[in-house]
């Protein structure tokens, strides 16, 4: 039996496919390649197409014996979601509806969902726990919370079990150096910093250096993409064991400040990284860190690449050997 990975040609999806293949799993990928890259797949059977194409989904489920789904396919740019909410409801919410409908028809009853810690909005306390209030402050986070709620009802009514994984920033690249992060446009700090080191950008913008943190810059949570891949595979094992639906945060301890990320990147690359201090951005909390106590105790998840230097070193290994990512767009 195979595991279907939607969005498997994307950044986190491709690392999860690699992890599944390493563990001897059979993998089927559905990806429209709208932001993903065919070259990022180290194996598996790829269907190029859209989640919202119900005929294609029916064909995929008919042609393969799917045991469980790992669902990454989504639009995930916060800024874009605040300009084009229709795109986010259509791709994320309606796309998930089509997927769940396809699963129901095919009798597939396990799904691991790549959600986001943006479901919490501005936290009341840190580290954030699963039981904390969810009040998304952008359309992207709201659609992800809606997708989780949809899954909860599909469980109650149809018995489709789900695990939702909520986390902040994926970072780093695969140990093989063959796959890594290539988002276009890029919005994540670590690749932006490394692109600055490579002189592809003039400077890295730091939004505010007067926050009440140890060095005045915002503290964020970064998790190595292969540790995230491991968590997704563990969640499949958890559902295979007959456990009920659940939500888990994935976090990396205390988090790292923006300045710490830049200083560590300078150390790792040995290159100059010019910084441009700018005004704070509206709605940027000082600290965003998720607690992973529950994932550690229930899933046995123990991120083994949690060190910032190791995360940046693996990202640098990818960016310095693939300065154009997977190539021309
Ligand atoms: P990505 O854009 O690299 O991957 C998404 C993949 O889904 C792409 O390959 C894209 O082509 C595909 N896709 C999108 N819409 C599709 C559709 N309708 N049909 C078929 N394929 C479609 O993004 P990523 O950074 O790998 O993120 C993956 C998931 O993890 C997303 O759902 C995102 O919300 C979530 N997430 C990411 C981060 C992060 O830091 N990158 C943090 C928290 C949550």
Residues 77-116 have pLDDT tens digits of 999 999 999 999 999 999 999 999 999 999 999 999 999 9
Model pLDDT, residue 192: 97
Would you place residue 65 in the very low, low, confident or very high pLDDT band (cuts 50, 70, 90)? Answer: very high
Ligand 1 residue neighbourhood (C-beta within 6 Å): 7, 9-13, 30-36, 50-52, 72-74, 76, 91, 95, 114, 116, 167, 169-170, 183
pLDDT of 248 over the 80 cut: yes
DSSP one-letter string for 244-299: PPEEEEE--TT-EEHHHHHHHHHHHH-S---EEEEPPPTT--SB--B--HHIIIII
Ligand 1 mean position to 132 CA, how many Å? 25
Give the mean model confidence (pLDDT) for residues 308-321.
97
Model pLDDT, residue 253: 85
Q: Where do the domains of the chain lie, and which CATH numbers do they carry? A: 2-171+223-250 (3.40.50.720)
Model pLDDT, residue 279: 96
With a threshold of 0.90, tell me whether the complex ipTM lies above it. yes
Q: Tokens representing 22?
A: 């390493």
pLDDT of 329 over the 60 cut: no
pLDDT of 283 over the 60 cut: yes
Would you place residue 328 in the very low, low, confident or very high pLDDT band (cuts 50, 70, 90)? Answer: low
H runs (alpha helix) in the chain: 11-22, 54-63, 78-81, 85-88, 95-106, 139-158, 189-197, 225-240, 258-269, 293-294, 308-321
pLDDT of 59 over the 70 cut: yes
Model pLDDT, residue 289: 97
pLDDT of 25 over the 70 cut: yes
Question: What is the phi/psi pair of residue 55, to 5°?
Answer: -65, -45
Active-site hit among 47, 120, 140, 222: 140
Ligand 1 mean position to 140 CA, how many Å? 12
**Best mutation site among 17, 44, 72 for ligand 1, i.e. most ligand atoms within 8 A of its Cβ?**
72
Instruction: Strand 110-114: give its sheet, edge to edge.
Output: 45-48, 26-31, 2-6, 66-71, 110-114, 161-167, 246-250
Please give the mean pLDDT across all residues of the chain. 97
**Best mutation site among 4, 12, 52, 232 for ligand 1, i.e. most ligand atoms within 8 A of its Cβ?**
12
Would you place residue 230 in the very low, low, confident or very high pLDDT band (cuts 50, 70, 90)? Answer: very high
Would you place residue 254 in the very low, low, confident or very high pLDDT band (cuts 50, 70, 90)? Answer: confident
% residues pLDDT > 70 (the chain) = 99
Backbone conformation region of residue 12, classed left if phi is above 0, alpha if psi is from -120 to 50, else beta:
alpha
% residues pLDDT > 90 (the chain) = 97
Question: Closest Cα partner for 108 from 20, 46, 28?
Answer: 28
Model pLDDT, residue 165: 98
Would you place residue 282 in the very low, low, confident or very high pLDDT band (cuts 50, 70, 90)? Answer: confident
Give the DSSP letter of residue 169. Answer: E
Model pLDDT, residue 191: 96
Q: Tokens representing 265?
A: 């990147």
CB atoms within 10 A of CB 309: 11
Beta strand 66-71 with 169-171: parallel, antiparallel or unpaired?
unpaired
pLDDT of 118 over the 70 cut: yes
Would you place residue 148 in the very low, low, confident or very high pLDDT band (cuts 50, 70, 90)? Answer: very high
Tell how far CA 125 is from the center of its chain.
23
Give the DSSP letter of residue 89. Answer: I
């Amino acid at each position: 039996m195979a595991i279907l990975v939607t969005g498997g040609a994307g950044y986190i999806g491709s690392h999860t496919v690699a992890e599944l293949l390493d563990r001897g799993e059979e993998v089927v990928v559905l990806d429209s390649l709208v932001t993903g890259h065919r070259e990022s797949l180290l194996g598996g059977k790829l269907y190029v197409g859209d989640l919202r194409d119900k005929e294609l989904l029916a064909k995929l489920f008919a042609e393969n014996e799917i045991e469980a789904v790992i669902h990454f396919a989504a639009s995930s740019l916060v800024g874009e979601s605040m300009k084009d909410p229709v795109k986010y409801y259509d791709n994320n919410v309606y796309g998930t509806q089509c997927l769940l409908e396809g699963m129901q028809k095919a009798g597939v009853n396990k799904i691991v969902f790549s959600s986001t810690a943006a479901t919490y909005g501005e936290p009341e306390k840190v580290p954030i726990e699963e039981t904390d209030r969810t009040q998304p402050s952008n359309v992207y986070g709201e659609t992800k919370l809606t997708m989780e709620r949809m899954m909860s009802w599909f469980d109650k009514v149809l018995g489709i079990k789900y695990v939702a994984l909520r986390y902040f920033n994926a970072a780093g690249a695969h140990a093989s150096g063959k796959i890594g992060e290539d988002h276009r446009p890029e919005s994540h700090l670590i690749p932006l910093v490394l692109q600055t080191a490579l002189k592809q950008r003039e400077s890295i913008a730091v939004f505010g250096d007067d926050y009440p943190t140890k060095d005045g810059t915002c503290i964020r949570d970064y998790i190595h993409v292969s540790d995230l891949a491991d968590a997704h595979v563990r969640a499949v094992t958890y559902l295979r064991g007959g456990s009920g639906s659940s939500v888990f945060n994935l976090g990396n301890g205390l988090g790292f400040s923006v300045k710490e990320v830049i200083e560590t990147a300078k150390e790792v690359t040995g290159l100059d990284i010019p910084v441009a201090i700018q005004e704070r951005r509206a709605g940027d909390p000082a600290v965003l860190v998720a607690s992973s106590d529950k994932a550690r105790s229930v899933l046995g998840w123990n991120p083994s690449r949690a060190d910032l230097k190791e995360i940046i070193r693996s990202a640098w290994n990818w960016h310095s050997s693939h300065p154009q990512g997977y190539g021309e767009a």
